[in-house]
Amino acid sequence: MSLKSVLLRGAAVLTAAGALAGLAAAPAAAKPHHDEPLVIAHRGASGYLPEHTLEAYALAVEMGADVIEPDLVLTKDGELLARHEPVLDETTDVAAHPEFADRKTTKLIDGKPVTGFFADDFTLAELKTLRAEERLPDLRPGSAEHDGQFELVTYDEVLDYVDTLDRKVITYPEMKHPSYYGDKGMSIEDALADLLEERKLDRKRSPVWIQSFEYESLLTIAERVDNRIGLNIDGQGAIANATLDEYAQTLDTVSLNKNRIFPRAADGSISEPTDIVKRAHRRGLDVHVWTFRAENSFLPANLREGSDPAAWGDIEAEFELFYDLGVDAVFSDFPDLAVAARDC
């Protein structure tokens, strides 16, 4: 299958996106490839539709994703909402609701002041009156055409949707900013553990993996549930063997920024790979990689095509570099492209 045919298929699916409301009960034709790298739909098929909506998750499943990834934040009444950040401004129409104008405030996240509308200042019933919007409208105008169409969803609703499918699809929730909630006397770890226990999804073999950028948060939730857990590691540079040894005792996965594996040179092009995948695998750790996006803005300089930041570059070549190294899973906003590059 050529990349061109994949792109045409993606365009056709996007054209039909208006019919996605009925996808929740529809079977997906593609089968998972457990003996090959898994494709994780990053926030759903977020290259095509507004992220963290049921429609974006359903499109990802239809495109053959093995895993869908909901980021989780807490509402005022303790519900787990699928949103990229506690702040709602960039991904919802909250600013267009005058009844909520007085909710705008400034809070500290990771020690930095952030001003906006925070999900934890809204009840779930209030959040259900909002609608999702595309976070990157200049790069993804096709997705932005769906602004205002899709409601916000809880992780519980995502799990209800997955239960309707005729094949196994893993959900990979990320607990966002656990320490932010801890400082407010809230526990995102307990909220997630309670839900998984209630749904009997708190076992090692459950189709739910758990991730966070905060190591201590993962250790905390591991005291409550037996699910596979993975630490997200940003940045670029070597990870010491002693650190990997510790992770191998406490984690199942290290989920790495692409630059940890293929560093960027000074000119933004891709450099020779590091040995992190081999060293992690020797210790029994899976290696997941994020995030693969088709637009030139996100690609290494030597894989861009043209000068338009929104144009698509040679993402197929980028996938191949990582697949050839034997990574266990890739996060992509374009799950159809990840599946096609793997299957080719």
Active-site positions?
42, 84
The reply to whether omega before 291 is within 30° of 0 (cis) is yes
Going by their DSSP bridges, the two strands 80-82 and 286-292 should be labelled as unpaired
Q: How far apart are the two ends of the chain, measured CA to CA in Å? A: 6
Helix (H) or strand (E) holding 220: helix 215-222
Pairing of strands 71-74, 80-82: antiparallel
In whole angstroms, how far apart are CA 195 and each of 40, 224, 311?
22, 11, 41
Collapsing DSSP to helix, strand or coil, 140 comes out as coil
Taking each helix axis from N to C end, the angle separating 54-62 and 155-163, rounded to the nearest 10 degrees, works out to 30
Q: Of all helices (H) and strands (E), which one includes residue 291?
A: strand 286-292
Give the SS3 label for residue 84: coil
Q: What is the Cβ-side half-sphere exposure of residue 3, based on CA atoms within 13 angstroms?
A: 14
Q: Which amino acid is located at 57 in the chain?
A: Y
The conformation of residue 24, written as its DSSP 8-state character, comes to G
